[in-house]
Structure 1
Amino acid sequence: MFEAIDIIPREELERRWSRCRTLLSELLPDASGLLVSSRLTGYWLTGSWVNGLVWLPKNGEAVLMVRRGLERAEMESTVTHKLPYRSYRDIQGIAATCGVPMTGVIGVDMGVLPWAMGERLASSLEGARCVAADHVISLARSVKTPWELERQRRCGQQHALALTDVLPRAIRPGMSEQEISRIAWDVFLELGHMGPTRMGNFGEEMFFGHIAAGDNGNYPSTFNGPLGLKGGHPSAPFMGSADSVWEKGQILSCDIGFCLAGYQTDRTQVYFAGTPDEIPADVQKAHEFCVKVQNWTAESMRPGALPEDLYLHTLEWAKQEGFADGYMGVGQNQVRFLGHGIGLVIDEFPPLAKKVRRPLEEGMVIAVEPKIGIPSIGMVGIENTFEVKADGAVSLTGDCTDILCITE
């Protein structure tokens, strides 16, 4: 007899459904409900990761329609209606049978559906018109419930332990980026990391994290983040390179996510191969500026604050301090954000970026990552994951802000 590993309480699911319905009424008032194809959002709405669809009507019980994994869904999900289906042509009939017809305007998570599948879905729905509801879902997931926050807090505690305590005692100068990656992988798994580093943006991939020694922190990158990365191979530019060795006198930047019970935190720790008095003055100065930016941003991340204002303030601050060219990346690696929401995926809403003017809310969880690339040296800076509270944001991933020094 099999048993579920973990079950999301029914009242927790209903809290999430209620937020979705409130946002649906605000942003898509004509929609009769949400039709979700993403397995990740499907898990968030039902408690089970299945191959299927979720129909969340504006009124009435949600319906979990399953192509594969029904037995698992029956163990894990407290949703009342859990039914099999074979084709998109079946789903309106299933919804009608459950007393929650799927008609009129239907909000769909179009951002996760391949074009061909989206067209097939739309053509299978009679008397219905599909509209994009991705923003509704992003906003709903951006504010964490107490149940979710408890998991992210535990995740952050283990994350801090890994990067500031255990890993520094296990690595040393002279190791390759790949060796350090393998050691970090072992450390993280030992502390409970579940493996996935999920990304939300279509086509974006990451495995475990980015490990960059010296000027590899400025290596040309296709990833939407400030830290450059050589990686293992052009087909898999992840983790670290076997050909790049962390030498004495170099910095080492480790930007690695941690996943616990499905929820993630993000943190960057910079190490130096040498003693504190051997850290170059320009490296120390740039790093200290990043720490100031993080602390100011955390203090300013209160309910009602605008993400755009936070980003633009730090952008101007970096210009005034002479860091404009390297702030948030060097050259084409430079990104146009200061931080990002985080939860079931690394890159959730809201980004701290220009044109993002929806006010922050209490319960949002945001990774703040001020970094500065220094040509021929690498990337310094910091990243921690913060919980937005009424009187300012609180770090979930520890309070260490130093460059950690490691000698042979």
Structure 2
Amino acid sequence: MDFNTALSNDLNIRRKRLQEEMQRQGVDACILTTSVNVFYMVGAIYNGYFYLPSEGEAIHFIKRNIDFELEHTIHIRKPEQILEELQKAGLKCPQKILLEIDTLSFSDCDRLIASLKLQKENIVNASVLLRRLRSVKTDFELSQVRLCAKRHIEVYKQIPYIYKEGMTDLDLQFEIEFLMRKHGSLGIFRSYGANMDIYMGSLLVGENAESPSPFDFALGGKGGNSVLPLGACGEKIKKGNTIMVDMAGNYSPWMTDMTRVFSVGKISDLAYKAHAVSGEIHQTIVSQAKPGIACADLYNIAMDIVNRNGLDAYFMGTRQQAKFIGHGVGLEINEPPVLTPRSKELLETNIVFALEPKFVIPEVGAVGYENTYLVTDNGLENLTVLEENIIDLNNQ
């Protein structure tokens, strides 16, 4: 089966899943306009509104010209024309509808509601539903995740050979970013939520790993500019430092996440111990995780291991400690589920998630690694198989 046929079949599966959920909730239609959700339902991005009734074919209300053809396309200038066009086509006007109320601006959402002449109590949150649907991947999506993981691994394998003595953290990050682009990286880091700006990933060296950041990522870093206070800060890489590389796997629309740690010479025994404990957490969770297990239980498994080893003061930061150890991965880097102590989510077959138990050791840097796992009927499959021990760059 060629790519286009496989994609077309998969889009039908995704739309059917959404329509089944709409019918279950008694919703008449869904309107999507954010790029990530339009892409999920269309396989392309356009400026306009994807309209899907609970039964029947999708309609594409497009505001700007596109270079590809879609069935059931109607060109409009403003959302007020949607209702008029539905009436022209003899279609039922929706009374209860799904809108992306978590991601649309208040004014855009309010305008859509007014233009469709809807009661606000009949608006259902499409943002939450779409994120949940997207968290369980189809076979086509998994093929794209595997492609991304393969290229992600190829880039990381070359990192030891681009390091040069005297580099700053930013020097090394720039070289990795160039390597990523040469291997097909899309050059962006898609994430969900406000205040989630980032480079093509994060690189943390030495004491900078302790610096807190206002952004909601696992670890912080001062960053190179006050407008983006996160990650590498321009300081020279020194002997005894660790270098934590957490650069995005965005080599297909479906992403992977992977962290590996390098050092310049030997580091402290505490740092080596903490890295080994990160490995113990991975191994324990891989041995116990399966469909149906609570994400909160996985977090608690990790914390039990951390506390038993007396490393809680360093886990997921020092001056600021993240309260999660993993997250779903897909079209965005931070999809459901999230592995937190308060999570109500359960693992399901075909969920893809990143597990990242990390430690920050003062005067040394960050240690611990991150893999992307696929939940299968039989447990977890590691999609990012690569050396997990700390690699001493002085020995390369």
Relative to the length of structure 1, the TM-score reads 0.91
CA distance in 1, matches of 2:317, 2:79: 45
Question: What does residue 158 of structure 1 align with?
Answer: 151
Unaligned residue ranges in structure 1 (runs of 5+): none
Give the direction of change, closer, same or farther, for the CA distance of 1:95–1:239 in structure 2 (3 Å limit).
Answer: farther
Moved more, 362-371 or 304-313: 304-313
Within a 5 Å distance, the mapping from 1:8-407 to structure 2 comes to 9-26=7-24, 29-69=25-65, 71-74=66-69, 77=70, 80-98=71-89, 100-128=91-119, 129-163=122-156, 165-238=157-230, 240-242=232-234, 244-274=235-265, 278-332=266-320, 334-407=321-394
Structure 1 residues 113-152: Cα deviation after superposition (integer angstroms, max 9, x where no partner): 0112111211211145322122210111001111111111
Give the direction of change, closer, same or farther, for the CA distance of 1:99–1:361 in structure 2 (3 Å limit).
Answer: farther
Computed over aligned residues only, the root mean square deviation of the Cα atoms, in angstroms, reads 1.9
CA distance in 1, matches of 2:222, 2:195: 19
TM-fit CA distance, 1:24: 3.2
Give the direction of change, closer, same or farther, for the CA distance of 1:303–1:97 in structure 2 (3 Å limit).
Answer: farther
CA distance in 2, matches of 1:226, 1:127: 40
Moved over 6 A (4+): 5-8
CA distance in 2, matches of 1:32, 1:125: 12
Of all paired residues, the percent bearing the same amino acid is 27
In the alignment of these two chains, the number of paired residues is 391
Structure 1 residues 158-208: Cα deviation after superposition (integer angstroms, max 9, x where no partner): 111211x21111113421011001100111112221211111123311120
Matched letter for residue 63 of structure 1 = I
TM-fit CA distance, 1:324: 1.4
CA distance in 1, matches of 2:57, 2:204: 49
Structure 1 residues 55-93: Cα deviation after superposition (integer angstroms, max 9, x where no partner): 111111111111113x3241xx4xx21221111111123
Give the direction of change, closer, same or farther, for the CA distance of 1:169–1:184 in structure 2 (3 Å limit).
Answer: same
Relative to the length of structure 2, the TM-score reads 0.94
Unaligned residue ranges in structure 2 (runs of 5+): none
CA distance in 1, matches of 2:208, 2:93: 52
Give the direction of change, closer, same or farther, for the CA distance of 1:109–1:261 in structure 2 (3 Å limit).
Answer: same
Give the direction of change, closer, same or farther, for the CA distance of 1:139–1:282 in structure 2 (3 Å limit).
Answer: same
* Structure holding more strand per residue: 1
